[in-house]
Structure 1
């Protein structure tokens, strides 16, 4: 019996010493995991309260989320680059406006419509013609600029007003 007790003492003493020396590290890991779990639960409760407060379902009811999941969908950055490039074609090399070919106008309007869909801005470009369409184009460019997408025409007008 004394021999078994001596063997247990030789095996258990190093394990007990290791537990005492490394125990604080284990306690820190457990306490950190517990605090992260509490923080996640608190964040989820806060988000749920905000959703109920602003009634998020009503805000997103009219948005077709499948539009964002399409693999062929162009990113907003690509649309903005297209709009900048098409606007530069319109101004020409000398900075003077030139007559837009019909295809260029249609492409520019398509990109404006796409940007409006991405940012939730209402537009009526397809329904209008002539001068009314030009006015709507300027309005849409300003609305997109206000929504956070600076376009060359809206940016230039914005700079002129603030000089």
Structure 2
């Protein structure tokens, strides 16, 4: 019979900085795409289960807790991003030739214009929208309509 070895909740609950780091990483990897959040979570979580198991086997409870907190933070960040994308709904007048990049730009613009958001998030979203629009234009010659474009 295996004895119970419980980990304290404090070891398993992501801290504010851990959650912010996970949000930044998931947001950066997902690029504003709903389906991409699953791939982003997979990329972040890859190998974490094995690391946690090795830490537990070696008796390093703190390392196991840290790994599980990071995994929980990444999962929560991906869920939050998907929820925000669902709330925003599909972008209007999407150009199928752009493969959804115009939708990503429109969502990023909406985030940049949202005064309830953190100023840093707004600035990142604005920079992302402009970078994608410029890159798309250079690579395809198709312009993504953006507020302020002429």
Shorter-chain TM range is: under 0.3
Q: Which has the larger Rg? A: 1
> TM-score, normalised on structure 2?
0.25
Q: Tell me: higher relative CO, structure 1 or 2? Use CA pairs within 8 A at least 6 residues apart.
A: 2
Instruction: Determine which structure has the larger helix proportion and give its number.
Output: 1
Using the size of structure 1 for normalisation, the TM-score is 0.23
